[in-house]
Amino acid sequence: MRTALVTIVLLGALAAAVAYGIQTWLTIGNVEMGFHGILAIVLCVVFVTGLGVGLMRLSYYSHRHGHDDRAAGADPDADGQD
């Protein structure tokens, strides 16, 4: 029941954000963007995607090499089963 409520609330927030974005897009109308604007958008997308990929790789690396266990004070030689 709780999971369903959280899902409904998050889907409602997503729908509101999409509706706001569409309404804003339609209100602005035709706007021409120059080379520098397109270049800024492309560089931003590439940078943010690279940052996300890099951080995920670091989290997987940390998990696989036991850095998370040592930081939490767990035994790094344990196999994870209690």
Which residue in this structure is represented by tokens 């954000």?
Answer: 17
Identify the pLDDT of residue 76.
54
Name the DSSP class of 75: -
Q: Determine the Cα–Cα distance for residues 75 and 82; give it in Å rounded to an integer.
A: 12
pTM recorded for the entire structure? 0.51
3-class DSSP state for residue 6? helix
| Long-range pairs for 21-24: beta carbons < 8 A, 24 or more residues apart | none
Note the pLDDT tens digit of each residue in 48-82. 999 999 999 999 998 888 877 766 665 555 555 54
Note the pLDDT tens digit of each residue in 9-45. 999 999 999 999 999 989 998 888 899 999 999 999 9
